[in-house]
Amino acid sequence: MMGRYMSMETLKFLLHDVHDVSELFQYDFFSDYDKEGVDILLDSAKDLSDKVFYPNFREMDEKPAKYENGSIVVHPAIGDMIKGYADLGLISGVFDYDNGGMRLPGMLLSSCNHIFESANNSGVGYMGLATGAANLIVTFGSEELKNRFVPKMLTGEWMGTMCLTEPQAGSSLSDVTTSATPQGDGSYQIKGQKIFISGGDHQFGENFIHLVLARIDGAPSGTKGISLFVVPKLMPGEGGSFSDNDVITAGDFQKLGQKGYCTAHLVFGENDACTGYLVGEAHQGLKYMFKMMNEARIEVGITATSTATGAYYSSLQYANERPQGRRIQRSGKKNVEADQTLIINHPDVRRMLMLQKAVVEASLSLILECSKAADLHRAADGEVAENSHLLLELLTPIVKTYPSEMGVTSINNGLQILGGYGFTSDFPLQQYYRDIRICALYEGTTGIQSLDLLGRKVPMKNGKALQLLLAEIQDTLKAASTFDDFKPYVKDLAEKLEMTQKVLGELMPFAMKGEYERFLMDASIFMEFTSTIVIGWQWLKMAVAAKQALVAGKQEYPESFYESKILTMRFFYKYEMPKTLGLMETMLNNEVLTIKEEEKNMVF
Ligand SMILES: Cc1cc2nc3c(=O)[nH]c(=O)nc-3n(C[C@H](O)[C@H](O)[C@H](O)COP(=O)(O)OP(=O)(O)OC[C@H]3O[C@@H](n4cnc5c(N)ncnc54)[C@H](O)[C@@H]3O)c2cc1C
Banded pLDDT at 598 (limits 50, 70, 90):
confident
Give catalytic residues, as residue numbers: 443
Nearest partner of 81 among 174, 204, 225, judged by Cα:
204
Quick one: average pLDDT of 423-444?
98
Helix (H) or strand (E) holding 276: strand 275-278
pLDDT tens for residues 150-192?
999 999 999 999 999 999 999 999 999 999 999 999 999 999 9
Residue 386 has pLDDT above 90, yes or no: yes
Indicate the top mutation candidate among 124, 303, 445 to test ligand 1's pocket, ranked by most ligand atoms within 8 A of CB: 445
Integer Cα distance of 309 and 115 in angstroms: 10
Residue whose Cα lies nearest atom 13 of ligand 1: it is 196
Integer Cα distance of 526 and 513 in angstroms: 19
Integer Cα distance of 352 and 150 in angstroms: 46
Indicate the top mutation candidate among 165, 303, 449, 522 to test ligand 1's pocket, ranked by most ligand atoms within 8 A of CB: 165
State the pLDDT at residue 332: 76
HSE, side-chain direction, 13 A CA sphere, residue 11? 26
| Residues 368/19, Cβ–Cβ less than 8 Å | yes
HSE, side-chain direction, 13 A CA sphere, residue 381? 2
Quick one: average pLDDT of 76-85?
98
Integer Cα distance of 378 and 387 in angstroms: 12
End-to-end CA distance of the chain: 51
| Residues 215/190, Cβ–Cβ less than 8 Å | no
Residue whose Cα lies nearest atom 17 of ligand 1: it is 442
Quick one: average pLDDT of 341-361?
98
Nearest partner of 163 among 229, 109, 98, 83, judged by Cα:
229
Q: DSSP per residue over 286-331, as a string?
A: HHHHHHHHHHHHHHHHHHHHHHHHHHHHHHHHHHHH-B-S-PPPTT
**Given the CA of residue 446, which atom of ligand 1 is nearest to it?**
47
CA of 452 to the centre of ligand 1 (A): 14
CA of 12 to the centre of ligand 1 (A): 35
Residue whose Cα lies nearest atom 50 of ligand 1: it is 196
Distances (CA, A) of 149 to 96, 126, 220, 278, 553: 17, 17, 29, 13, 53
CA of 446 to the centre of ligand 1 (A): 10
Quick one: average pLDDT of 543-562?
94
| Residues 394/295, Cβ–Cβ less than 8 Å | no
Q: Which residues' Cβ are closer than 6 Å to ligand 1?
A: 162-165, 170-171, 196-198, 255, 263, 438, 441-445, 447-448
| Residues 495/580, Cβ–Cβ less than 8 Å | no
What is the chain's mean pLDDT, rounded? 97
HSE, side-chain direction, 13 A CA sphere, residue 405? 19
**Given the CA of residue 445, which atom of ligand 1 is nearest to it?**
47
pLDDT tens for residues 205-263?
999 999 999 999 999 999 999 999 999 999 999 888 999 999 999 999 999 999 999 99
Integer Cα distance of 221 and 315 in angstroms: 51
Indicate the top mutation candidate among 163, 441, 520, 596 to test ligand 1's pocket, ranked by most ligand atoms within 8 A of CB: 441
Question: What residue spans define the domains of the chain?
Answer: 446-595
Residue whose Cα lies nearest atom 7 of ligand 1: it is 197
Using DSSP's 3-state secondary structure scheme, residue 521 falls into: coil
Residue whose Cα lies nearest atom 23 of ligand 1: it is 170
